[in-house]
Amino acid sequence: MVEPARAASAARPPHPQHCPSWCIDCRHDDADPFSPRALLHRGAADIVHAYDDACLLVETQVRVAYWDKAPDWIGTDPTDLEHPYVEISGPTEDDLHLSLTPEHARALAAALLRAADTADTAV
């Protein structure tokens, strides 16, 4: 069984005080007058290797993310994604990008474990 590898993170630049403690990669749009405090926070990525449609081994990233939105942007996404969520993305943003609530992520993890256990016992 291959364990997911923790992605190496570069030295963390100074972050504003309103960044979550787990934030190591974020997009700050504070200078934009149309979206003050519209910030995308991302935690450290766990890398999980998987095969794509062409049977090439690719790195899939799994991490916590959160949009810290300006008040007038709140409500533009489903309510349960207005809080920190789990993000799954492929090598490029166009290939694979999923946003899961913590509950959805736990359900996916349980389904993956059941399928892996079944695959291990298959003939």
Question: What are the residue ranges spanned by the domains of the chain?
Answer: 17-121
- Asked whether residue 31 carries a pLDDT value surpassing 60, the answer given is no
- The amino acid occupying position 101 is T
Mind giving me the DSSP string for 33-63? TTSTT-EEEE-PPEEEEEE-TTS-EEEEEEE
- The pLDDT of residue 5: 46
Selection from 65, 61, 53, 47 nearest residue 101 by Cα:
65
- The pLDDT of residue 16: 58
- The pLDDT of residue 28: 65
Other Cβ atoms less than 10 A from the Cβ of 2: the count is 6
Whole-prediction pTM: 0.73
